[in-house]
Amino acid sequence: MANKRSWEILDDLRFIPRSDEALEEISFDTTPYLDALDHSVLSPRELLRREYQSVAWTQRTRFLIEPSQNLIAVYPDIGVPTAQDVVAHLVILATRISQDHPHDRGLIRDLKATYTWLQDHQYAAGEELRKHQHERIFLNVDDIDSYFENWQWRSSQELILNLSYDSSKRFRVRSFLSEFRQLLGVAGVRRRVDVNFVDETQFGDPNFERLRAGGKLLDIELRPEYTTENEKSNPLRLKAHAAFLAAHVPHIETALNGVWKEATSGVLSFPGTYFAACAFLDLVYTGDLKDERSPEDDDGMELLMDLLEMLPIAHEWGLPALKTKLGWLITSKYLFIQPETLKMIRDEAQTYEALGLVKACDDFAEKNAGILPDLKE
């Protein structure tokens, strides 16, 4: 037979001897995971070329004798798995083999190969993958090769691309799966869409910041009115230049020029926490926030709450520019507007008339309508 069409006629006829040898480079017993193909001869659709073993060995059986290059030349699809085969193979790797043999090196190799094959054939695989949207077939880890990282399996409905923090129902795509973003897209993983926040504030003076960093000519100290549990403070971080603050904050100018005790004591009461006082000074002196917290979810949410707690300070002191700067930090720098945080952020912004942040929340709701209804589940 010299043409592909002639071979396709034989696709479902069982006439080719199968191999009974154990699969190569697999350390565990594969029998429980193999499709029940008990015949000694199989059809071309039931057989698999050696080069595709990693992506479909649970669905097809190896040839007793590999197809020759001449045969492959006239029928290149012989022994090649379909997208349906590879997706079914992934389901078994993810839901069965990974439970029985976590962190197995052969399993890791096959997962990498399977995800890569599916991404390379994403248009053929998309429909099959979407049939499994609620099955946890995606290994959402930073380093698949690390024995010490717990394996977290997620479904395409649980993952959100461009998400910054995990919640109880939705999870950001971690480093390993980030290599397969196109595959995730055709599998039904949705995307968080960023919103634009324009920040035209004029905070910051490098010369005064140089003096502050050097501890020079500091003549006033902010004293936070509130303390938080286990908060470590450094009094030097709260010192500043009275004239510089007065020039940028009318409330401070009034306090330092009036009959209030701040005018002579060198101490200015600050209606917030130590973090808020430090953040306020950083923003006024540099136009940005110096924060060295780790990007872990709990730390991220703590930072969001700290920033939101600065909105009433900006409102009380009549600082619309500070509201704008806080809105930029929440929206653009830290990407804190997420499905689960949207309502809380908008409510706080509305209460303290941070209109730019309110608009950003409304824009987010409009652009991400597809992922917001899930919050009602």
Query: Could you report the per-residue pLDDT of 188-217, keeping only the tens digit for each?
Result: 999 999 999 999 888 999 999 999 999 999
CA–CA dist 9, 7 (Å, integer): 5
Please give the average per-residue pLDDT across 358-375, as a whole number: 87
Residue 293: its pLDDT value, please? Answer: 56
In total, the chain counts a number of residues equal to: 377
- For residue 284, which phi and psi values (nearest 5 degrees)? -65, -40
226/275 Cα distance (integer angstroms): 10
Q: Are 177 and 119 in contact (CB under 8 A)?
A: no
Q: What is the dihedral of CA 361, 365, 367, 371, to 10 degrees?
A: 130
Per-residue b/e over 323-342, b at no fewer than 16 CB within 10 Å? bbbbbbbbbbebbbbbbbbb
Q: Which one has a higher pLDDT value, 267 or 90?
A: 90
Domain ranges of the chain: 4-191, 206-376
Q: How many helices (H) and strands (E) does the chain have?
A: 19, 12
- Phi, psi for residue 273 in degrees, rounded to 5: -90, 175
What pLDDT score was predicted for residue 37? 63
pLDDT at 363 over 80: yes
pLDDT for position 259: 57
Average pLDDT score over residue span 282-305: 77
What pLDDT score was predicted for residue 377? 44
Contacts of 140 (CB under 8 A, 6+ apart): 152, 153, 154, 159, 171, 173, 174, 176, 177
Alpha-carbon gap, residue 42 to 40, rounded angstroms: 7
Identify which of 30, 142, 140 has the alpha carbon closest to the alpha carbon of residue 89.
30
Among the ranges given (15-29, 34-48, 210-224, 276-290), the one the predictor scored with the smallest mean pLDDT? 34-48
Checking if the pLDDT of 184 tops 70, the result is yes
- Two tokens at 20? 């009974």
- The helix (run of H) or strand (run of E) holding residue 41 is strand 41-42
- At 221, list the tokens: 């100290």
Domain 206-376: which CATH number of 2.120.10.30, 3.30.300.340, 3.30.710.10, 3.40.190.10: 3.30.710.10
Q: What amino acid occupies position 244?
A: F
pLDDT band at 158 (very low <50, low <70, confident <90, very high): very high
Q: Would the CA dihedral through 36, 39, 41, 44 be positive or negative?
A: negative
Residue 142 pLDDT greater than 70, yes or no: yes
State yes or no: pLDDT of 290 exceeds 80.
no
179 Cβ neighbours under 8 A, 6+ residues apart: 115
Predicted confidence at residue 262, as pLDDT, reads 53
